[in-house]
Amino acid sequence: MATLEQQFPRKRVLITGTSSGLGRALALEFAQRGWKIAVTDLDPLMIKQTAEAVRAAGGEPLEMVLDVTRVEHFEAAAKRVTEAWGGLDVLVNNAGVSDAGRMEGELTLENWRLLMDVNLWSVIYGCRTFIPVLKKAGRGHILNVASGAGLGCLPEMASYNATKAAVVAISATLKTELIVDHIDVTVSCPTAFRSNIANNERVDKCKSVAGRGIMEAIKKTTVSAESVAQYNIRSMESGKLYSLPQADARAMWRAARWMPEKYSKLLTYLYNKRLWLFAPGK
């Protein structure tokens, strides 16, 4: 199994959403391996802080403000990395937001648009913009960050589930399409790990039993963003399509794929009986 450094000796990666969580953890993992890293986010101060951490870890940061909901920002980023580095080897579409609620009222159309823009359209923009750049380099790898939610489809999370399931589908499609161009694709589908995704105003106001249960699980878990990042990189090096860092992610994937009717009945039972993540008080 060749390491990413052996596959891509020029070691050039762009990561969206590097201010915290998995994006920052991935940036630092690549930095420890001596990569050039395009550190991107919306907040210039957070970009600078991550860039300093990348430099201290042994990487070479390239700071840029990138709004993942705007295709012109991706186009500008592609132009900049091409000018600075002569191209790109690895693209990581990581930026994402979460929300939860029942379909008939709690999930507003504004909620749907936000999650579609950040979680889905950003992946579409990133892939469409950078695939030609990777082709020019002669080979490449795309890591799209989805979620276990895209595989398991928990109740009261329709907008989040839908965007993440779409990212899984896009990744599986590109895995086949791009093989002739020597571009590989991996999709990350973690379950709960420590990140700032549970710390936002939408979550604080969330009335969803499932949503609050999942966010509590994120706050209580011992799984770190660093361990998920390391697993993702190993999955890329192994040429895997699905990167499933935790045991429960792997179990959910198998159950939903191999016995979908039984999985659906079990999920319905747990939800209606208010068990597991859906227990009162979550």
Catalytically annotated residues: 160
Q: What string of DSSP letters covers 19-49? A: SSHHHHHHHHHHHHTT-EEEEEES-HHHHHH
Q: What string of DSSP letters covers 208-233? A: -HHHHHHHHHHHH----HHHHHHHHH
User: What CA–CA distance (Å, rounded) separates 206 from 282?
Assistant: 11
CB 142 within 8 A of CB 93: yes
In the three-class reduction of DSSP (H, G, I as helix; E, B as strand; rest coil), residue 50 is classed as helix
Half-sphere exposure of 169 (CA within 13 A, CB side): 8
Amino acid identity of residue 70, one-letter, is: R
